[in-house]
Amino acid sequence: MAGSDLLFDSWVTRTLKIRYPILMGGMMWLGRANLVAPVVRAGATGFLSALTFPDPQKLRDEIQRCRDLAQSDRFGVNLYISNHQDSDQDLRRLVDVVCDMEVPFVETSGARPNDLIPPLKQAGVKILHKVPTVRHGKSAAKLGVDAVILVGAECGGHPGPKMVGSFVQGAQGAQEIPLPVILGGGIGHGSQVTAAFAMGCEGVLIGTRMMAAKEAIPHEAIKARVAASDGTNTVVVQSIFNHHHRVLSNDATQKVLELERQGVADFETYRPLVEGSATWEAIRSGDYRRGMIDMGQSACFVNQVDPAGTIIANLVTEAYAALEKLGVRQ
């Protein structure tokens, strides 16, 4: 490990063996070696998205590719746990790859990780479980995970139905969850890293801030849209299914919201608008009018397209600047 900075010495830096307590979440479509590797080289870490590589051999190849590009193994894999029973076997095959490849840590999300904990623990993999509320974090602690990633309502993706902000959840979670807490949701400026530590958290999780990274896969038109955002052009869709999803406001999301206002509860009516293939096509082609493109309110901090390493370096510089304002010196 490149020596951890004393001011940000934490469970995250010590346990994950990284320099900075900054984690890039495992974003669907974006969580690839070409983006994770430069984040790792910059002293932070990130997660490959297993769902982006559902074939076990492809996931195995991507893990090796990331190691080659990063010249390090200090990154993890996101394992999304569906409530659909038919996906359990597919997920278990991906877990077997993670264990066999000796991936040091994972980000689990979605449903409870009960069945994944024994094989991951047996392989020595640290489990960071992502939750949308403090209550869920307490439940995860009882299951035997190693740390909790707590995301607030500002996050892109799935903030949960309670919609409690990160500033509240960070302070509450650090006090009430008996495990290290990593705070996510709306984080895109280094001063928030310092604030998270002041609240008692052990690190931060970022997502939207990396959407406009030079190495990220979205089309340049998508990156430009994110960089032009003031953070207010996001909407939460699919609340009618209790599947709250914060995304970029576009033509497709407005159609979804109109269906919800009409009380339409038949998912098949929504499917052409919300299915993953529509989102992938939008990300690939740059047609941001289509699909459910995850984007959080921290888009307000994205002003231009930068290399991933520059983004991490800027966050660190901003964090130290915030400390200096408080009269704290390195």
How large is the average pLDDT for residues 117-141?
Answer: 98
In a domain, residue 290? The reply is yes
What's the rounded Cα separation, in Å, for the pair 243 and 236? 9
In a domain, residue 254? The reply is yes
Q: Are residues 205 and 228 in the same domain?
A: no
DSSP string for 301-329: G--S-B-HHHHHHHHHHHHHHHHHHTT--
Q: Are residues 151 and 224 in the same domain?
A: no
Residue 40 sits in a domain whose CATH number is 3.20.20.70
In a domain, residue 1? The reply is no
Q: Are residues 203 and 232 in the same domain?
A: no
**Buried b / exposed e across 241-269, counting CB within 10 Å, b at 16+?**
eeebbbbbbbebbeebbebbeeeeeeeee
Q: Are residues 140 and 274 in the same domain?
A: no
In a domain, residue 302? The reply is no
pTM given for the model: 0.95
Question: Scanning the structure block, which residue is given the tokens 């082609």?
Answer: 285
pLDDT at 86 exceeding the cut of 80: no
In a domain, residue 330? The reply is no
The pLDDT tens digits for 162-184 are 999 999 999 999 999 999 999 99
Q: At what angle do helices 190-198 and 308-325 cross, to 10 degrees?
A: 50
In a domain, residue 182? The reply is yes
The pLDDT tens digits for 300-315 are 999 999 999 999 999 9
As a whole number of Å, the end-to-end CA separation of the chain is 20
Q: Are residues 62 and 177 in the same domain?
A: yes
In a domain, residue 146? The reply is yes
- pLDDT band at 1, cuts 50/70/90? very low
According to the model, what pLDDT value does residue 327 have? 81
Q: Are residues 157 and 281 in the same domain?
A: no
According to the model, what pLDDT value does residue 198 have? 95
Percent of the chain at pLDDT > 70 equals 96
Residue that wins the pLDDT comparison between 8 and 21: 21
Domain count for the chain: 2
pLDDT at 104 exceeding the cut of 80: yes
Range of the domain at 280: 220-297
The pLDDT tens digits for 205-262 are 999 999 999 999 999 999 999 999 999 999 999 999 999 999 999 999 999 999 999 9
Specify the 3-state DSSP secondary structure of 149.
Answer: strand
The Cα-based distances of 32 to 35, 307, 319 in angstroms read: 6, 15, 27
